[in-house]
Amino acid sequence: MANIAVIGTNYVGLVTAACLADLGNCVIGVDIDARKIEQLARGQLPIFEPGLEEIVARNLRAARLRFTTSYADALACAEFAFVCVGTPSGAEGEVDMRQVRSAAEGLGRHARKYCELVVVNKSTMPIGTGDWMLPALQRTAGGSGARFQVVSNPEFLREGSAVNDFRHPDRVVLGGADAQALERVASLYRDLSPEPRIIRTDVRTAEMIKYASNAFLATKISYINEIASICERVGADVTEVARGMGLDRRIGSEFLEAGVGYGGSCFPKDVKALAHMASMAGAHPQLLRTVMEINRDMRRLALQKVRAELGSLEEQSIGVLGLAFKPNTDDLRESPAIEIIHLLEAEGAEVKAYDPAAMLAAAAVLPAVELCPDAYAVAEGADALMLLTQWTEFRRLDMCRIRQSMRCPVLLDGRNFYDPREMVALGFRYHAIGRSSQPGCGQGSGTIGSQSADEQDADALRRDRTPVAV
């Protein structure tokens, strides 16, 4: 059993603290937000993550997990301090390091005299942060005699499956200069079953592995969306193209789902940050810039498809199904749905929306949107319906009832969630991403050699792009 302090109790910090406690360690979570700490002490979670609430409750009862606002309290017996604070994007895509600097200051100032503390950087931090942190800790500790080792241990948690990802990681990456410190951190993961593959490397390489991994996955998403645009024009079905590609073991099927693009707390900021770091280092990240452009354009393309059907969005009632950036989370950060709603509102549309988990968060960021109790209320009287998050419950909807309640049966399937033929048979004017229009789908239907209005808009959008060599 190890004594562990976890600095930061947002998404990564809370999952890390709870899962480390569940392995039998004594864990104290630290946060400056006193109200959040009080809620966590009662077992009330600030985030929605399947399975996490039960783990927190179990370990609170067993006294293996507790929460505090005091660094001194958390570090009184700590052997390890996991830094899990936020690293948001700055104005130019750079990483805002204020929370990391504050955590380093708190650790250095409150470390016990003559202690040996392994500081584990779990947050996604700019390359070189580990090299900066060790002298920063030593300076802040002053003459206390505390000794520190810094290990980079980037997280690879996916929202919606974070508990399983912690318990069954593909790999554990550890970067550091001290072999003994690396081994001590590695020992924390040995009770996972099966024991994960552990990669030991230097700090900067470990930090780069996280950025390179997320940037690659974002690239796969933007790549399949670019293929989707081509599929629409040549009469191919991107879902079948992706299936055929994914069966190639060199490619794999994950992250080959065409749609309105990626979002969340990781991919957008990490791709921007890596592009910024590359530029500042004298490299030319053309591919990363194009990945971001394609992702942005997919939101606009979805809007264009609806506009092409309705002629104008002014005073049109648009229903939105799904607000979180992906299913099984309530996270709205960089959500495609939020951006699309803002674009709809800018063109004068009246928006109604529903999400199974994100309604409370949505109320704060979408004040002009009518938040409905269910999908059927969203569809009532709507001129168009846009599915933007593929929650499982939307698969079970009575689509005949949905169709009959709409004023105009336009359905934009932003996640290729439904069968086009079934939707057309029900009477929808159905549009998806990267799937050729079906006969009878309405004004947006087109064949090779003649472009629909939404295709023309998409072409105009692409002509606006500055050509980039990749």
Query: Cα angle vertex 4, ends 106, 51, to 5°?
Result: 110
**Rounded CA separation 126/107 (Å):** 19
In this structure, what are the phi and psi dihedrals at residue 10, rounded to the nearest 5 degrees?
A: -85, -150
Please check whether residue 387 is in contact with residue 394, taking contact to mean a CB–CB distance below 8 angstroms: yes
For 169, residues 6+ apart whose C-beta sits below 8 A from its C-beta are 156, 189, 192, 196
266 noted as active-site residue: yes
- Provide the token pair at 332: 């709205």
Question: Given 19, 26, 84, 266, which residue is catalytic?
Answer: 266
Beta strands 80-83 and 116-121: pairing type? parallel
- Under DSSP, is residue 386 helix (H, G, I), strand (E, B) or coil? strand
Task: Tell me which residues are annotated as active site.
Answer: 266
